[in-house]
Amino acid sequence: MGKLIHFVHQSLDGFIEGPNGEFDWPAMGPELSAHARELTPEGTVFLYGRKVWDLMSGFWPHAERYSQDPHDLAFAPVWRKAPKVVVSRTLRTADHHTRIVSENVAAELTALKDAGHDLVLFGGSELAAHLTEHGVIDEYQVVVHPVLLGGGRPAFLPAASRTPLALAETRTFDGRAVLLRHTVGA
């Protein structure tokens, strides 16, 4: 059986994007970059909500045109090759090895896990809230970056119920970002 990991970058004050939608603040040093690649071995399904998909699909297919950052250059071919799922009620087509799921989201993703697929949800507080509510997420990996954004989109939305978690790991990357890894259940 596979598992679903929610991997998210957040500011110290709990936001995944700034007040104007900006996502230019994560500090992707060599250690954090290596962790992201370890988290996504070949065959891992990359999972996105529509908003994050729009950002990712606008950058990663041609990352080398926009960036010479070592992380970007190493991750771009991984992204292009990976199977992807986008959860969206409005998106009708997507390329880059991408499947769109628009109905029965929890059941569809649970079926992928049951078939042995590992999935990594990148960001997306709305999708994460939906999957948390339905018990689909197995692990949360929150990378806290040294910045206060002062507002924006929160990493976690209010929930109808409590989700008990167990601390599995803490780790510092590149002397600046901190990983908080929790598994579901206490």
pLDDT single digits (tens) 81-104: 999 999 999 999 999 899 999 999
Domain ranges of the chain: 4-184
CA distance 136 to 121: 11
pLDDT of res. 7: 97
- 186: pLDDT strictly greater than 70: no
For 177, half-sphere exposure in the C-beta direction (CA atoms, 13 angstrom radius) is: 24
CA distance 176 to 173: 6
pLDDT per residue as tens digits for the range 132-184: 999 999 999 999 999 999 999 999 999 989 999 999 999 999 999 999 999 99
SS3 11: strand
Q: Report in angstroms the alpha-carbon separations of 168 from 54, 91, 118, 162, 165.
A: 31, 36, 18, 18, 9
CATH superfamily of 4-184: Dihydrofolate Reductase, subunit A (3.40.430.10)
pLDDT of res. 185: 81
